C-alpha cells in the first residue's frame, strides 16, 4: 500500500490579520496548520522537525506527496480555480463552492467558526460531532459500531442481556405446568438438563455448537408454550393439554372470545398470541446461543464449573437433598417430556380400543316395541343446564343463593302437582367442552376426549334420545340456542328437527356467549313445538340452556312470560348488566355471578314447567360439568346434580330403587354414578329390554 510522505518544511503560518473578525485568539482555523519546528503546537507541546502537529493524523493513502517548496509540481488534475480556493483557505478566507464539494465566497463565517470549534475540541481530546453516513451498507456499518461510540451503554446492555438470558433459560428448565405450583422455590433448583447441555456445547466446534444451542433454545420455547397450555387447560377443563387431539379446541377458544367479547378482541388476541409464540421461541433461541458463546470464552473455567455442577447435582440426587419441600436436583424437563410421550402413546392406543367399545351396545339390537314402554304417551324432556355443578349447591360462596332457589322451586312445583327426585352424576368433562358431557349422558359411553366424541358421532351406537325416534312413537326435536352453524350431530341424537340460534325468532341482545336468555328459549320451545295442538304423537325434546355459560356477565333477569315478545325487552337488562371483561379475570366476581346465573337458569326452567307442564310431562334436567377451577376450586369434584320431575307418581316410582333425594336438591350423601351409566339405568328403569350388539 503506498505511503504518503510529508515535506520536512512546514507551511508558513497564517497571518492573524487574515483571520475573520469573529475568530478569537483562542480559536484555530478548521484547516489545521502544523506548527513550525521547535514551536509549541495547539495544546502547547513542542514539535520536532518533520513531525506533524497532530501525531494521531494518519496520512491518506494513494495521494500525491504534499509539498510547499517552490517549484514543486502542481497536484494532478488541479485547475486554477482549485488552486485559488486552496490559497484562500490557507489565507483564512471563506472558501468558494464552484461545483460539488467546493466552497463559495457566499458561505457564512459561522461555518469557519464551527469548524474551528470542532478542531479545537478534537485537539483537546474531545469527540467531534459524528455525521451519520448515507447508504444502506454505510448506515448498517455505522449502527453496528455503536459499542465503540458508547462503551458504557454497551456494557450495561451486555450485562442486561446476559442476565436476562440466564433467567429465561433456567426459568424454562424449572417451569412447572400447573398454576398452583408457580412458586419461587420452584426456580431455586439445579436443572440437570442445563449441566448436560453445557457439556455438549463445550465439546462442539463453533458452527455445530451455535446450531445445537439455537435448536435447544427453540425446543425450550416450545416446552414453555406447552407448559402454559397445560396450565390453562387444567384451569378451564381440569386436564392437561393433549398434543394429539386438542389443537382443534384452540379454534373453539377463539370463537368463545369472539362471542363473549367481540370479533375485534378475538382477532387482536389471535394475532397477539401468534406473535407471542414466535417471540418466545426466537428469544429463547437467542438466549441459549448467547450463553453458549459465554461458555467458550474460557473453556477451562467453563469445563471445571460444569464438572463441579454435575458432581453437586449427582450428590443432591443421591442424598435426596430438598429445599422448600422440593428436590434440589431438578429434572423437570425430562419429566415433562416423559409425561407428554406417555399421553401421546395412550391417546393413539385409545383410538383403536374405544372404537371397539363404541361398536358394542347393550340395547343395540333391542326391538322398537321393547324400548321405554313405561313412558309411552309422555312428553319427555332432557334439559342440560350449562356449568351446573356440585359447587353451585355445596360451595359456601355460592350455595346459599342457589339452595334458596332450589327450595323455592321445589315448593312451587309441589304446589303445581309435580314431584322430583335428585342425585349426582360424575361428568366426563370439567370446566368446559359441554358436548362431551351431553354425549356421555346420552350415549352411555365415557366420552372424555375430542377423539372419542368424533368416534361416537360417526358410530351407530344408540343414543338415549334416538331411542325415542327408533320406537316411532314420538316426534323428536332439539332446542339448541348455542348452535350457530351446521350441526351434523343431529343424526346421532335422532332429532327430527333442530332449532338453532337463528330459528327461534329472537331479536334481542346477546348476553356474552349466550345468544339468548333461557327464558326466551323455553318460551320459543313452547310456541314452536310443545304447545302445538295439531300433534298426533307425544314429544321427546333435548334442550340446551346457555345463560349460565361463562363468563357469566351480563346475566339476564326474569321478566313476565307474557312480555317476552321477540326478546327486545332484554335490551335494557343487557345494557345494565356487568361487563364480561370486568368479571372474567376476577375470581370473587366470577363466583358471585356464576351463582346468580345458575339461579336464573333453574328459575326459568322450573317456572316454564309450572306454567306449561301437563300430567304427561316428564322433565329430566342436569348439569353438563362443573365450572372452571377459578370458581369451583382446584380440588373440586366433577359431580353435577341430576333431577327427574313429573306429575304422574308412577314415573318416580320406577326409580325408587335409586335412592335419590326427594326434591330438586340432592343430599350430600345421595348416590353418585358415572355419567356414562345413566343411559342404561334409565332405559332399564322404564321397561327397556337389553339386546346387546358386539360390533
- Reported as a single tens digit per residue, the pLDDT across 501-549 is 999 999 999 998 899 999 999 999 999 999 988 888 999 999 999 999 9
pLDDT higher than threshold 70 for residue 49: no
Q: How far apart are CA 209 and CA 211, in angstroms?
A: 5
pLDDT in tens, 561-617: 999 999 999 999 989 888 877 887 788 888 899 999 999 999 999 999 999 999 999
Q: What's the mean per-residue pLDDT of the chain?
A: 80
| Residue found under cell 377443563 | 237
- How far apart (Å, rounded) are the C-alpha atoms in residues 289 and 194? 13
In tens, the pLDDT along 461-496 reads: 999 999 999 999 999 999 999 988 888 999 999 999
pLDDT tens, residue by residue, 314-342: 998 888 888 877 788 888 888 888 888 88
> From CA 40, how far away is CA 35, in angstroms rounded?
7
**How does strand 190-191 pair with strand 672-674?**
unpaired
* φ, ψ for residue 327, nearest 5 deg: -65, 135
Q: What percent of the chain has pLDDT over 90?
A: 40
Instruction: Look at residue 9 in the predicted model and tell me its pLDDT.
Output: 43
Task: For residue 21, name the pLDDT band (cuts at 50, 70, 90).
Answer: very low
pLDDT at 121: 44
pLDDT of amino acid 493: 95
pLDDT digits (tens, 9 = 90+) for 53-68: 443 344 444 444 443 4
DSSP 39: S
- Joined together, the cell numbers standing for residue 632 give 369451583
Give the residue, 58 or 288, on which the prediction is more confident.
288
Tell me how far apart the alpha carbons of residues 443 and 426 are, in angstroms, rounded to a whole number: 15
Angle at 627 between CA 624 and CA 633, to 5 degrees: 135
pLDDT at 105: 41
- What is the mean predicted confidence (pLDDT) over 212-237? 86
**Measured between alpha carbons, how far is 672 from 658 in angstroms, rounded to an integer?**
10
**pLDDT score recorded for residue 695:** 64
Higher pLDDT: 15 or 643? It is: 643
State how far the Cα of 469 lies from the Cα of 464, in Å rounded to an integer.
9
pLDDT at 133: 60
The confidence score (pLDDT) of residue 63 equals: 41
Residue 35 has pLDDT above 50, yes or no: no
Instruction: Give the C-alpha separation, 409 to 418, whole Å.
Output: 11
> What is the structure's pLDDT at 441?
96
Per-residue cell: 595? 351463582
> Residue 17 in contact with residue 77, Cβ under 8 Å?
no
Rounded CA separation 180/229 (Å)? 14
CA-only gyration radius of the chain, Å:
41
Within 10 Å of residue 465's Cβ, how many Cβ atoms? 26
pLDDT of residue 68: 40
What confidence score (pLDDT) does residue 558 get?
A: 94
Cα 695 to Cα 461: distance, rounded to the nearest angstrom: 10
Contact 497, 544 (CB under 8 A): no
Residue 134 pLDDT: 67
CB-based contacts of 632, cutoff 8 Å, min separation 6: 389, 391, 395, 431, 626
> When comparing pLDDT for 240 and 441, which is higher?
441
pLDDT > 70 in the chain, percent: 80
pLDDT > 50? residue 170: yes
d(CA 303, CA 677): 61
* Cα three-residue angle 300-304-305, rounded to 5 degrees: 115
C-beta of residue 593 within 8 angstroms of C-beta of residue 583 = yes
185-194, 278-287, 558-567: which has the minimum mean pLDDT? 185-194
Ranges 188-202, 240-254, 512-526: which has the least confidence: 240-254
C-alpha cell at 80: 486554477
Q: What is the pLDDT of residue 131?
A: 54
What CA–CA distance (Å, rounded) separates 279 from 163? Answer: 18
What local confidence, expressed as pLDDT, does residue 267 receive? 81
Query: Which pLDDT score is estimated for 677?
Result: 95
In this prediction, residue 367 has a pLDDT band, given cuts at 50, 70 and 90, of very high
Q: Are 652 and 419 in contact (CB under 8 A)?
A: yes
Q: Which pLDDT belongs to residue 645?
A: 96
Band (642; pLDDT cuts 50, 70, 90): very high
User: What's the grid cell of residue 426?
Assistant: 360424575
Q: How far is the C-alpha of 455 from the C-alpha of 358, rounded, in Å?
A: 8
Top mean pLDDT of 165-174, 547-556, 670-679 is at: 670-679
DSSP state of 673: E
Helix 192-202, helix 151-174: angle, nearest 10: 130
User: 470542532: which residue's cell?
Assistant: 118
In the prediction, which pLDDT does 635 show?
80
pLDDT of the residue at 469:
94
Indicate the range of 189-203, 240-254, 601-615 predicted with least confidence: 240-254
Which own/partner pairs from 577-586 qualify as long-range (CB within 8 Å, at least 24 positions apart)?
Answer: 577/511, 577/553, 578/553, 578/554, 579/553, 579/554, 580/260, 580/261, 580/512, 580/551, 580/553, 580/554, 581/261, 582/553, 583/551, 583/552, 583/553, 584/260, 584/550, 584/551, 584/553
Record the pTM: 0.70
∠ CA 397-402-405, nearest 5°, is: 150
User: With contact defined as beta carbons under 8 Å apart, do 371 and 609 qualify?
Assistant: no
For residue 543, give the C-alpha cell: 334442550
Continuous H helices in 189-331:
192-202, 206-237, 247-261, 263-295, 299-319
Report d(CA 88, CA 97) in Å as an integer. 12
Of the listed ranges 163-172, 347-356, 425-434, 474-483, the one predicted with least confidence: 347-356
461/39: higher pLDDT: 461
Which grid cell is 403? 339452595
3-state SS class at 413: helix
Residue 112 pLDDT exceeds 50: no
Nearest to 626 by CA among 411, 349, 391: 391
Across residues 154-166, what is the average pLDDT?
Answer: 87
Q: Is 15 helix (H, G, I), strand (E, B) or coil?
A: coil
CA 264 to chain centre: 16
Amino acid at each position: 500500500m503506498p505511503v504518503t510522505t510529508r515535506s520536512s518544511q512546514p507551511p508558513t503560518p497564517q497571518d492573524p490579520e487574515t483571520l475573520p473578525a469573529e475568530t478569537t485568539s483562542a480559536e484555530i482555523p478548521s484547516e489545521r496548520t502544523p506548527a513550525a519546528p521547535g514551536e509549541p503546537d495547539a495544546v502547547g507541546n513542542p514539535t520536532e522537525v518533520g513531525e506533524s502537529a497532530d501525531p494521531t493524523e494518519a496520512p491518506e493513502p494513494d495521494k500525491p506527496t504534499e509539498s510547499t517548496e517552490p517549484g514543486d509540481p502542481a497536484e494532478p488534475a488541479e485547475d486554477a480555480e482549485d488552486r485559488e480556493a486552496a490559497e484562500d483557505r490557507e489565507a483564512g478566507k471563506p472558501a468558494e463552492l464552484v461545483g460539488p464539494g467546493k466552497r463559495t465566497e457566499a458561505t457564512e463565517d459561522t461555518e469557519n467558526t464551527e469548524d474551528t470549534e470542532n478542531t479545537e475540541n478534537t485537539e483537546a481530546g474531545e469527540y467531534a460531532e459524528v455525521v451519520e453516513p448515507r447508504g444502506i451498507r454505510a448506515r448498517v456499518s455505522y449502527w453496528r459500531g455503536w459499542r465503540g461510540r458508547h462503551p458504557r451503554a454497551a456494557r450495561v446492555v451486555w450485562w442486561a442481556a446476559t442476565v436476562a438470558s440466564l433467567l429465561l433459560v433456567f426459568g424454562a428448565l424449572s417451569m412447572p405446568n400447573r398454576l398452583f405450583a408457580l412458586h419461587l422455590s420452584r426456580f431455586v433448583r439445579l436443572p440437570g438438563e442445563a449441566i448436560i447441555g453445557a457439556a455438549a456445547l463445550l465439546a462442539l466446534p463453533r458452527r455445530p455448537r451455535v446450531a445445537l444451542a439455537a435448536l435447544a433454545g427453540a425446543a425450550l420455547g416450545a416446552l414453555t408454550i406447552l407448559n402454559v397450555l397445560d396450565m390453562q387447560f387444567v384451569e378451564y377443563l381440569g386436564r392437561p393439554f393433549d398434543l394429539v387431539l386438542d389443537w382443534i379446541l384452540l379454534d373453539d377458544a377463539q370463537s368463545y372470545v369472539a362471542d363473549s367479547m367481540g370479533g375485534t378482541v378475538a382477532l387482536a388476541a389471535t394475532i397477539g398470541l401468534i406473535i407471542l409464540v414466535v417471540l418466545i421461541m426466537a428469544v429463547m433461541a437467542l438466549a441459549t446461543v448467547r450463553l453458549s458463546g459465554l461458555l467458550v470464552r474460557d473453556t477451562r473455567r467453563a469445563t471445571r464449573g460444569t464438572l463441579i455442577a454435575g458432581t453437586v447435582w449427582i450428590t443432591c440426587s443421591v442424598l435426596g437433598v430438598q429445599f422448600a419441600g422440593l428436590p434440589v436436583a431438578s429434572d423437570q424437563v425430562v419429566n415433562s417430556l416423559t409425561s407428554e410421550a406417555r399421553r401421546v402413546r395412550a391417546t393413539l392406543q385409545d383410538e383403536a380400543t374405544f372404537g371397539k367399545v363404541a361398536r358394542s351396545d347393550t340395547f343395540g339390537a333391542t326391538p322398537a316395541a321393547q324400548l321405554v314402554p313405561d313412558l309411552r304417551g309422555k312428553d319427555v324432556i332432557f334439559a342440560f343446564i350449562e356449568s351446573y355443578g356440585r359447587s353451585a349447591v355445596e360451595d359456601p360462596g355460592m350455595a346459599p343463593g342457589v339452595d334458596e332457589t332450589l327450595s323455592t322451586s321445589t315448593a312451587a312445583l309441589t304446589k303445581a302437582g309435580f314431584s322430583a327426585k335428585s342425585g349426582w352424576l360424575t361428568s366426563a368433562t370439567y370446566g368446559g367442552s359441554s358436548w362431551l358431557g351431553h354425549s356421555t349422558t346420552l350415549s352411555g359411553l365415557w366420552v372424555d376426549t375430542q377423539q372419542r366424541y368424533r368416534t361416537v358421532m360417526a358410530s351407530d351406537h344408540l343414543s338415549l334420545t334416538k331411542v325415542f325416534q327408533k320406537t316411532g312413537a314420538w316426534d323428536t326435536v332439539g332446542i339448541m340456542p348455542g348452535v350457530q352453524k351446521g350441526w351434523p350431530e343431529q343424526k346421532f341424537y335422532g332429532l327430527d328437527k333442530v332449532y338453532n340460534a337463528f330459528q327461534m325468532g329472537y331479536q334481542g341482545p346477546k348476553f356474552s356467549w349466550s345468544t339468548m336468555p333461557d327464558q326466551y328459549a323455553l318460551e320459543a320451545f313452547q310456541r314452536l313445538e310443545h304447545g302445538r295442538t295439531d300433534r298426533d304423537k307425544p314429544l321427546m325434546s333435548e334442550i340446551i340452556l346457555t345463560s349460565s355459560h361463562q363468563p357469566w356477565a351480563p346475566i339476564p333477569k326474569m321478566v313476565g312470560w307474557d312480555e317476552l315478545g321477540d326478546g327486545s325487552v332484554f335490551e335494557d337488562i343487557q345494557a345494565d348488566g356487568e361487563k364480561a371483561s370486568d368479571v372474567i379475570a376476577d375470581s370473587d366476581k366470577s363466583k358471585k355471578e356464576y351463582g346468580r346465573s345458575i339461579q336464573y337458569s333453574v328459575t326459568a326452567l322450573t317456572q316454564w314447567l309450572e306454567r306449561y307442564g301437563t300430567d304427561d310431562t316428564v322433565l329430566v334436567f342436569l348439569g353438563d360439568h362443573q365450572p372452571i377451577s377459578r370458581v369451583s376450586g382446584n380440588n373440586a369434584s366433577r359431580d353435577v346434580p341430576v333431577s327427574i320431575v313429573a306429575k304422574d307418581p308412577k314415573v318416580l316410582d320406577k326409580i325408587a330403587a335409586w335412592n335419590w333425594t326427594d326434591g330438586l336438591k340432592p343430599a350430600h350423601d345421595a348416590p353418585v354414578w358415572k355419567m356414562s351409566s345413566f343411559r342404561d339405568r334409565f332405559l332399564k328403569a322404564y321397561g327397556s329390554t337389553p339386546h346387546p350388539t358386539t360390533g
